[in-house]
Structure 1
Amino acid sequence: MRTMASFKVGRVSIVRELPQAAQSLPGELTGEAVSFLRVYLRRKNNRPLQSLFEIIKQVPESKCRAQIKRHLGTSPAKLKTFLESLPQYFSIEQDQVSLLPCKTRGEIEASLQVPRHAGDAQRQPRNICVVTDPAYCAKAVNELLAEKVIGVDCEGECLGITGRLTLVQISTVQGDVFLIDIIADRDKHAMFYLGRLKELLESPDVVKVFHNCRSDSAALYCQFGVTLRNVFDTECAYQVLMDQHNIDVKQPIPGLNHVCQIFGGPLNEVNEDIKYRMSHDHGYWGYRPMSRDMVIYAAADVFALLPDVYYNMKKALDPGWTSQFQQLCQANVDWHFSRHSSGL
């Protein structure tokens, strides 16, 4: 949207368009701008304001959103105003810019810890339904399309671009879990088209909560032509929360159980036997009929995502980091494109 200025000369009103750079930076881009500035301050902390300003002007727009570059690169004074508005990240003394002391992962996780109540970790699904018929799948999808948010997970044989996807798990806020058996029908596409699973996963109106959707998205797109939309990836949320609270360096992303321990989700306490079989038998998720252990494990992984983990992480995310979070989620959804183009 263009910004217009209006003023009068005598009886004549003059409307003039303000320069794009003079407009304020939308709040949701704050985190993205902070991350951009951190790159250069981590290379050399305690940098002169003028030096940082010159770097911003020279950075190609391929490495920085044009809107952020225009805003921060307007003048040293405007850059200083932006930095001073974020004292939780930056310090300016005598026009020398530095990053504030960083926090450790443990310190940040402690500040985010959601109080747990007795029994939280052992909560179980209300219902678990194994779906083997495309017609029944279509009925279930019809109900799921009315949900605002669902949890989603996938299992398969070395799941990925070529690793066969065999199971799609879906959970609801109410605690219902659907295990959709993709290989139950001889037509592997039946659940996605006759069963309308593609319609659900591509719906822009239903939030899909994943924990690290990279391999899932790769299998869904490359094997079934499904493009995930409206994804809330808890792995990305964790990463942004670390950045939002001034983490010292990039950390390995923890598994789902660790995220559940912080944000109040039930734990998937899989027994050692199934854990061993999953790690040593790459065809494990292709066995049919599924064993009781397989059903329990698959249901627990997707049940854990809703409602507590999703709502507590969403509440903890600062609106100023919205753009950064959305970019990371989309990068996970599109991960297979870079893998495919590189021949991996």
Structure 2
Amino acid sequence: RLCICQIATPHRVYIFDALRSGVVDTLRPALESPATVKVMHDCREDSSALFSQFAVRLAHVFDTQVAHTLLLEQQRHPRPYQISLNELLKMHTLTNEKQGEMTTRMEDDANVWFYRPLDPELISYAAQDVMYLPLLHWLLCDKLGDPSGSQVLLQSQRYVDYADMNTHLASPKAVEKRGLRLRAMLATKTESSLYFKLNLGAHRQGAATRPDAVSRYDGMKCGDVAECWVSAWNTNGHVVFLERIESLSDLPVPKINTRRRRTHLRTKV
């Protein structure tokens, strides 16, 4: 659940309490404006939360995760990868000084952002989480040789549209059904496996690990979306294993019970 919204300008940072009624609606015009660039890092879960909780549709997003991926591709990196905001800041000699301390605190208490009033340390962390985004935006555009950031804005739309993925599923648990069709966005590539985001909560992800399953995703880049079906899942359901659908013949054949049913008719004369 979205608890706060942070907005940084070149000179000031604002923290908004998203749990208070009407606050996000006040921000709606700016968030949905096609004339205002929103610089965000990996906006996928934020886009999903804003849409599902408040019916807010983000527009004109410059995603620094997307910019990082494009930069790696431009540098012909053999395996572009996803990166955390703090790691990306460090690459550009910037850092959130509260990152380590607050990460431990959030791991110890998953509800830390729900408590009111907000702890001053959390407010400081939240402010630092966005205060460098305007500068990072400029640095990434400069390195990409794209002063307007138009290429990143175009590619970032896929991350915004993540909010629409798999909305036909009533709950994350509903994914545990063999043969279920869904859409999966490629998030990470390793030497032997692929991992996908599914828009089913932070603790559900898709995976392809068998060599033959992995090979079917050849040519896909991070951020690309594939039509898939569920072949299995692990014991806690946090990972679902996916097979790519390239044609109807890729779908599993349903098992049909061919046992004949005997029908008894009784007549009266």
User: Could you say which TM-score interval applies, normalised by the shorter chain?
Assistant: 0.5 to 0.7
Structure 1 match to 2:64: 234
CA distance in 2, matches of 1:274, 1:315: 31
Letter in 2 for 1:232: F
SS at the partner of 1:209? strand
Is 2:106 the counterpart of 1:274? Answer: no
Which of 278, 285, 288 aligns to 2:116? It is 288
Residue 86 (structure 2) aligned to one of 250, 254, 257: 257
Pick aligned residue for 1:243 from 62, 73, 79: 73
CA distance in 2, matches of 1:264, 1:332: 26
Structure 1 stretches of 4+ moved >6 Å: none
Count of equivalent residues: 171
Instruction: Name 1:336's counterpart in structure 2.
Output: 163
Give me the CA root mean square deviation: 2.3
Partner of 1:303: 131
The answer to which structure has the higher helix fraction is 1
TM-score, scaled relative to structure 1:
0.46
Cα distance between partner residues in 2 of 1:241 and 1:227: 27
1:170 aligns with 2:7: yes
The structural deviation recorded for 1:224 is 0.5
Q: Does the CA-based 8 Å contact 1:241-1:317 persist in structure 2?
A: yes
Counterpart Cα distance in 2 of 1:271 and 1:260: 11
1:218 corresponds in structure 2 to 48
Question: One-letter code of the match for 2:41?
Answer: H
Q: What is the rounded CA distance, in whole Å, between the counterparts of 1:181 and 1:326 in structure 2? A: 27
Taking the TM superposition and a 5 Å limit, the aligned residue runs for 1:1-344 are 164-174=1-11, 176-183=12-19, 185=20, 187=21, 190-193=22-25, 196-251=26-81, 253-265=82-94, 267-270=95-98, 272-306=100-134, 308-319=135-146, 325-341=152-168, 342=182, 344=200
Structure with greater Cα Rg: 1
Alpha-carbon contact 2:63-2:153 (below 8 Å) kept: no
1-structure distance, mates of 2:73, 2:101: 37
Q: Distance in 2 between matches of 1:274 and 1:244?
A: 34
2:60–2:153 Cα contact (<8 Å) kept:
no
Deviation of 1:271 after TM superposition, in Å, equals: 6.2
Bigger relative contact order, structure 1 or 2 (CA pairs below 8 A, ≥6 apart): 1
CA positional deviation for 1:273:
4.6
Give the partner amino acid of 2:139. N
Aligned mates of 1:231, 1:250 — CA distance in 2: 21
Structure 2: gaps of 5 or more residues: 169-181, 183-198, 201-269
Unaligned runs of 5+ in 1: 1-163
Percentage identity across paired residues of the two chains: 34
Deviations 1:81-122 (A, max 9, x none): xxxxxxxxxxxxxxxxxxxxxxxxxxxxxxxxxxxxxxxxxx
Q: d(CA) in 1 for partners of 2:151 and 2:99?
A: 37
